Amino acid sequence: MVATAAALKTWLSQFGWPVYGANDVPTDAELPYITVPVKEPAYDQKTAYMIQLWARTKENEALMQKADQICAAVGVGVRVPCTGGLLVIWPDNPLQQVLPDGNVRRVLISLQLNAYHCPGI
């Protein structure tokens, strides 16, 4: 699980926003940021994997542009190296969804995740 979480955090960090576990956002974290679930799929299975982009804004455009950037990097599937193996991230449906809540908005990006490495590495 550690290898998967570290690889996903490193991969998502390339998009320029801080990345946190979905339930591990520091209380003093400033928007914008990305949250990711912390979970490990079975070796031979895909699992649903939802990335959330959060921003303080009244407009969706900048947030949607960041989501488009991440989705373009995923394409039809992207391989992400991790300690002892490889992760593969696939698009899911619906790929993106904007959820406004006052001045804080988020985009949900629905993906599927495979982890090809020995558990515990």
Q: What is the pTM of this model?
A: 0.90
CA–CA dist 55, 103 (Å, integer): 8
Residue 71 lies in a domain: no
CA–CA dist 42, 32 (Å, integer): 31
pLDDT at 103: 87
pLDDT at 20: 96
* DSSP-derived secondary structure letter, 20: E
Tell me the residue range of the domain where 27 lies: 2-57+78-117
CA–CA dist 9, 96 (Å, integer): 19
Residue 73 lies in a domain: no
pLDDT at 120: 59
Q: What CATH code is carried by the domain that includes residue 103?
A: 3.30.2000.30
pLDDT at 121: 56
Residue 67 lies in a domain: no
Residue 50 lies in a domain: yes
Residue 7 lies in a domain: yes
Q: Tell me the mean pLDDT per 10 residues along the chain, length 121.
A: 89 96 94 92 86 92 94 97 91 94 92 82 56
Domain count, the chain: 1
Tokens of 48: 């649903």
- Strand arrangement of the beta sheet that strand 19-21 belongs to: 19-21, 33-36, 47-56, 104-117, 85-101, 78-82
